[in-house]
Amino acid sequence: MSSSSSSQGAASPLAGKSILFVGGGTFGVSAAYHLAERLGLASSKTTITVVDRFESPSPIAASTDLNKIVRSDYSEPMYAKLGVEAMNEWKKDTGIFAGMFQQTGWFLAAQNASIPFIEASAANQAKLGITGVKKVTPAEARQISPSFTGPMDDWQIWWNPWAGWTTSGDALAAMTTAAKKLGVRYVSGDDGWIKKLLYSPDGTCIGAEAENGARHYADVVVVSAGATSARLLDFEGQLQAKGHVVGHIQLTPEETKKYADLKIVDHFEQGILFPPNRDGIVKVATVNFVTNHESQKAPGLSLPRFRQDNPRDDIPRKIEGEIRSWLREFVPDLADRPWAETRICWDTDTQDLHFLIGKHPKHKGLYLATGGSAHGFKFLPIIGKYVADMLESKLEPSLAHTWAWRPGRPRKEKQGPDPHPYPTRDLAEFEDFKPMRASKL
Ligand SMILES: Cc1cc2nc3c(=O)[nH]c(=O)nc-3n(C[C@H](O)[C@H](O)[C@H](O)COP(=O)(O)OP(=O)(O)OC[C@H]3O[C@@H](n4cnc5c(N)ncnc54)[C@H](O)[C@@H]3O)c2cc1C
């Protein structure tokens, strides 16, 4: 697996074209940056514009967060290899992401259905020559992270010292700044908040129109609007927005020192916990995702529901209770702490959890770079090279096939087990998530 990184200049089929990314999250910004670097905008007379509802890092982006896990543990060799490629970028001492990666190591845990995914992932790490990944008992986990004082009954635990986390919102903003320096235009606010794509009478996509009527015409239009992508285009059931309930706990300076030994804990059936960041904030998220079908845009379609549009929204108390009861299993002293902030963070899943990076089968000029499927962020430094390859029609055939437009293609046996096998619940089940309690935006 490889991407082309050489500068194509005038040789590229994109030379002299106008390229528009609708959405400046992981996929849009990474692609804009790598394309600009590859083509050399001034010399190739190419223009690249990113339009986004918000300035980067957008508060509605899945990418915008305190932190995200960066790892290469995957049951599928393809993502494991891409994970290694991305980690090599995150770990560099110089460049856009210097200093953002914290190699704390992470615990992978499960009690039931996710164990096969973790076992297959650990086996792939060994094949890639990554050493130190091992299964540990709760007592051994406590030696690595003495802050674990809960029982962790029935937990099956693996330890990977190679993985870590990165300051994801900062990283997205830094890559956006780097893209702008290469000549990429970034349009945000009302002019960048896209309500529809524009087509010529023959069905060719020719641009996008903002909520305020501003029009952005382009030869190449890439939908990279994350969870919102399916508002702009009929994806024929390929994308479903899924919400991850997130809470932040603010520690005191003394507690920050006390919990400094915490590692990332990713319990594939319950939740994720991050060590305190430099401001003493511990992030916790559930992995039992929610959907939002109430939009009725299309039967069965889940679209995101952002607090920016529904300022009184809260998080469902039932899910909050589940998070707290999970914390009680390993860090009980944190289980009843008030939230400093809460959020439902929206990403969009494909059925097979592969990304959707390809051209639209019917509309000429229209391309897709979306479908992060709850694991896209770690690839921020590199995924744009693959999007650029796709746009230049030179993406490696196996990747092109895997990431292509593919309505109805389910997750296949050979992909290995689903990391998060439990069914989603719809927000409509949780009457109490609106109106809001006193949680900060
Ligand atoms: C809580 C949570 C935790 C996660 N943890 C991890 C992790 O630890 N590791 C990992 O690798 N991945 C993780 N992911 C997944 C990862 O964040 C996503 O897969 C990835 O960021 C998706 O990138 P994107 O570019 O598709 O979407 P986004 O990052 O959501 O970006 C979409 C962009 O489109 C813009 N936009 C939306 N609508 C419009 C519109 N109408 N007009 C203009 N602009 C618009 C938004 O403002 C935003 O900037 C997590 C996701 C969530 C929600």
Does any ligand 1 atom lie closer than 6 A to the CB of residue 378? Answer: yes
Does any ligand 1 atom lie closer than 6 A to the CB of residue 229? Answer: no
The answer on pLDDT for 1 being more than 90 is no
Does any ligand 1 atom lie closer than 6 A to the CB of residue 226? Answer: yes
Which pLDDT value is given to residue 438?
A: 43
Does any ligand 1 atom lie closer than 6 A to the CB of residue 63? Answer: yes
Does any ligand 1 atom lie closer than 6 A to the CB of residue 68? Answer: yes
Does any ligand 1 atom lie closer than 6 A to the CB of residue 263? Answer: no
Best residue among 63, 223, 342 to mutate for probing ligand 1's pocket (most ligand atoms within 8 Å of CB) is 63
What residue's CA is closest to ligand 1, atom 31? 25
Does any ligand 1 atom lie closer than 6 A to the CB of residue 186? Answer: no
* Contact between 349 and 396 (Cβ < 8 Å): no
Atom of ligand 1 nearest to the CA of 26: 25
Atom of ligand 1 nearest to the CA of 376: 19
Does any ligand 1 atom lie closer than 6 A to the CB of residue 22? Answer: yes
* Contact between 105 and 160 (Cβ < 8 Å): yes
CB neighbour burial string for 360-397, b if at least 16 within 10 angstroms, e if fewer: beebebbbbbbbbbbbbbbbbbbbbbbbbbbbbeebee
Complex ipTM over 0.95: yes
Which pLDDT value is given to residue 72?
A: 94
* Ligand 1 center from residue 376 Cα (angstroms): 8
Does any ligand 1 atom lie closer than 6 A to the CB of residue 27? Answer: yes
Residues 250-267 pLDDT 10s? 999 999 999 999 999 999
Question: In what order do the strands lie in the sheet containing 356-359?
Answer: 185-187, 47-51, 18-22, 220-223, 366-370, 356-359
Q: Do β-strands 47-51 and 101-102 pair in parallel, antiparallel, or remain unpaired?
A: unpaired
* Ligand 1 center from residue 226 Cα (angstroms): 5
| Fold classification of 101-163+240-349+416-441 (topology level) | D-Amino Acid Oxidase; Chain A, domain 2 (3.30.9)
Which pLDDT value is given to residue 2?
A: 63
Lowest mean pLDDT among 115-119, 191-195, 239-243, 435-439: 435-439
Best residue among 377, 378, 379 to mutate for probing ligand 1's pocket (most ligand atoms within 8 Å of CB) is 377
Atom of ligand 1 nearest to the CA of 373: 19
The residue with tokens 């200093």 is 99
CATH number of the 1-67+167-238+352-410 domain: 3.50.50.60
* Contact between 273 and 331 (Cβ < 8 Å): yes
Identify the helix (H) or strand (E) that includes residue 257: helix 253-258
Q: Provide the 8-state DSSP code for 345.
A: E
111-to-117, 328, 365 alpha-carbon distances in Å: 12, 15, 47
* Ligand 1 center from residue 137 Cα (angstroms): 34
Tokens of 320: 């909050």
The answer on pLDDT for 429 being more than 80 is yes
Residues 78-115 pLDDT 10s? 999 999 999 999 999 999 999 999 999 999 999 988 89
In angstroms, the CA 239 to CA 226 distance is 10
* Ligand 1 center from residue 345 Cα (angstroms): 8
Tokens of 249: 């706990």
Model confidence at 437, pLDDT cuts 50, 70, 90, reads very low
What residue's CA is closest to ligand 1, atom 46? 61
Q: What are phi and psi of 299, to 5 degrees?
A: -55, 130
CB neighbour burial string for 336-357, b if at least 16 within 10 angstroms, e if fewer: ebebbebbbbbbbbbbbbbbbb
Which pLDDT value is given to residue 27?
A: 98
* Ligand 1 center from residue 17 Cα (angstroms): 27
Mean pLDDT over each residue of the chain, to the nearest integer: 93
Model confidence at 421, pLDDT cuts 50, 70, 90, reads confident
* Contact between 22 and 169 (Cβ < 8 Å): no
What residue spans define the domains of the chain? Answer: 1-67+167-238+352-410, 101-163+240-349+416-441
Atom of ligand 1 nearest to the CA of 64: 29
The answer on pLDDT for 271 being more than 80 is yes
Lowest mean pLDDT among 2-11, 20-29, 67-76, 218-227: 2-11
Model confidence at 141, pLDDT cuts 50, 70, 90, reads very high
Tokens of 177: 């700044």
Q: Sign of the C-alpha dihedral, residues 155, 118, 62, 406? A: negative
Lowest mean pLDDT among 326-330, 410-414, 435-439: 435-439
Which pLDDT value is given to residue 435?
A: 53
Which pLDDT value is given to residue 441?
A: 37
The answer on pLDDT for 7 being more than 60 is no
Does any ligand 1 atom lie closer than 6 A to the CB of residue 61? Answer: yes
* Contact between 395 and 356 (Cβ < 8 Å): no
Atom of ligand 1 nearest to the CA of 369: 26
* Ligand 1 center from residue 127 Cα (angstroms): 30
**Of 171, 298, 186, which Cα lies nearest the Cα of 234?**
298
Does any ligand 1 atom lie closer than 6 A to the CB of residue 375? Answer: yes
- Hey, is 433 helix, strand or coil? helix
